[in-house]
Amino acid sequence: MSQATDPATLEQILAAAADAAGTAAAATPVQRAAWLNAAADALDAAADELVALANQETHLPVAPRLQGELKRTTFQLRLFGEVLADGSFLGATVDHADAAWPMGPRPDIRRLLTPIGPVLVFAASNFPFAFSVAGGDTASALAAGCPVVLKAHSGHPELSARTGEILREALIKAGAPEGIFAVVYGQQNGVTALKDPRIQAASFTGSVPGGRALFDIATSRPSPIPFYGELGSVNPVVVTQSAIDARGEAIAKAYAGSFTLGAGQFCTKPGLLFLPEGHGLEDTLREAVSTIPAQPMLNERIAAGFADGLAKLSDVDGVEVLSESGGAEGISHGATLLATTAKAFLSDADTVREECFGPASLIVTYTDQAELVSLLGVMEPGLTATIQGEESDVDWIRPVLPSLTRVAGRLLWNDWPTGVTVSWAQEHGGPYPATTAPTSTSVGTAAIERFLRPIAWQGFPDALLPEPLQENNPWDLPRRTDGKR
C-alpha cells in the first residue's frame, strides 16, 4: 500500500469525488451525522487492530498515547455530529423585504453557508489518527458536506490503508455516496490532486517548507483555492518571579514533562521558556530533564532532522547546554535543555527562534518587563503562548498580553500547551508561519467553517430556496431573522 497511486486510479478518485459533491451537499445534517457516527463506531470496533498497526509504523507507545489518540479521533467524529444537529454552523440568516429600510427599500435576502466542494487533506506524520486519515480535517470536511481525497503520509502507509478502508466502508454503508472518501499515495499525486480544478480546498499539517510549497501551488492555480496549512510553532512560556516563588519546582518539572512529551514531536511543544534573571531553578530543571529516558522518534528522517537542528542550536554563540539525558541511538533521542541570555537571543536572527522538532527546549532569561516585551517582539508567531503567573501578577502581565496575542492563537494561564482538547471553543491556529490561514482553526467545532462558503439568495420564491432558508424553516434551525436571533 506504500506504492504511489497510479494515474488512472487517481483520476477515478478525483472524478468520483466531484460526482459525489452534489449528493453530499444535499444531504441533511441528520444524514451526515449518521455517516460520522457510523464511521466512529467502525473505527472503535477495529481499535486493537489499528493501534497495533500504528505502534508498528510510528514507534509511538500503545498506551496511553495511541489508544487515547484513537479515542480522540472517534470522539471528534461524533462531536461534529452534534455540530450538525445544532445547525448554527450554517449561519442561516433571513432579511425580509423592507420598504422602510434606512438605506432605501431592501429586497428579500437570505444567506447560508454551503459546502465548498471536494477537499484534499494531507495527513500528518506525528498524529497517525487524530491528524491523519480519519482525523479532524477529514471529520470537519465530511461534516460540512464535502467529499474528501486523503493524501496518506509515507510514515504510516499500512495504517492509512486500513483506516481508509474501514472509514470508507462505514460511510457508504451509512448512506454516503460512493465518492465520499478515498486515500491516495505518493508525494507527486498529492501535488497533482492539489492542482486539479475539481479540488476546491486543501488542508495540511506538517513542516514550514512542505506546507509553504503546497500553499504556493494552491494559490497560484488558475483558480486559486483556500489552503489551510498548520506549519511550525515554538510556543513560548513566560514565567513570572511570583510564580517561581510560589511553585517554582512544580513549574520546572511540568515544563520538562511538557517539552519531552511524545519525544517532543508535538506542534504545541513549548520550545522557549522565558525566566527572570536569578530564577534559581537551574538545579531543579537539570534534575527533571536528566531523569527523562531516550524515546524513539517517528522515523529516521525526523530523527536526523532533530539531530541537525539541535546541533545548530547548540553551536550558537551564547547558547549552552544546561542538561541532557539518555543520549542518542538509532532513532531514539534523549532530552536536551539549553539556555541563553536575552542579549544572545536578540542578536541571533534565526536559529534560536526557530522550532526544533523533538525533545529540546531553550531557556531565555529576562531582566524586567520591558526586556521581556522586546524578546517577544522579535518572535515569529505560533500556535500558543503560555503564562505561568499568580493572581498578584495581573497588573504586571497586562502590558505583556498584546505581545502574546500577536504571536499566538491560543493563550494559556497556568497550564501547558501540549494538551489540545477538542471542544466548541478551541482554537488551534495562529498567524503565519503557524498557519497559512490565521482566521481558522484545525481543532474544535469551528474547524467546519473552513470548508463552507456563503451564498446569498435574493428575491427567490420560497419553493426554490434551500430548505434552511425557507420561510417555515423545515429543519428547525437557529436563524437570525431581520437582525434578531
Judge whether 75 and 422 are in contact, CB under 8 Å: yes
Tell me, yes or no, if 230 is annotated catalytic. yes
Closest to 176 (Cα-Cα) out of 148, 218, 155: 148
Give me the sheet containing 201-205, strands edge to edge.
181-184, 148-151, 119-122, 201-205, 227-230
29-45 and 67-86 helices cross at what angle (nearest 10)? 170
User: What are the angstrom distances between the C-alpha of 113 and each of 87, 97, 107, 224, 439?
Assistant: 11, 21, 20, 20, 17
The position carrying cell 512560556 is 237
Question: What's the grid cell of residue 128?
Answer: 497517525
Judge whether 297 and 330 are in contact, CB under 8 Å: no
Of 57, 69, 146, 267, which one is the catalytic site residue?
A: 267
The position carrying cell 482553526 is 441
The b-or-e profile of 331-366 (16+ CB within 10 A means b, else e) is: bbbbbbbbbbbbebbbebeeebbbbbbbbbbbbbbb
φ/ψ of residue 53, rounded to 5:
-65, -45
Of 57, 69, 230, 380, which one is the catalytic site residue?
A: 230
Q: What is the DSSP letter of 403?
A: H
Q: From CA 78, how far away is CA 92, in angstroms rounded?
A: 23
Judge whether 360 and 324 are in contact, CB under 8 Å: no
> Which residues, 6 or more positions from 17, have their beta carbon under 8 angstroms from its beta carbon?
118, 147, 148, 149, 179, 180, 182, 198, 199
Question: What's the grid cell of residue 347?
Answer: 542578536
Q: From CA 313, how far away is CA 320, in angstroms rounded?
A: 9
Q: How far from chain centre, in Å, is Cα 432?
A: 13
Judge whether 34 and 142 are in contact, CB under 8 Å: no
Q: From CA 173, how far away is CA 171, in angstroms rounded?
A: 6
Which ranges constitute the DSSP H helices of 222-368?
241-260, 282-290, 300-314, 342-347
Q: Give the number of residues written for the chain.
A: 485
Catalytic (active-site) positions: 230, 267
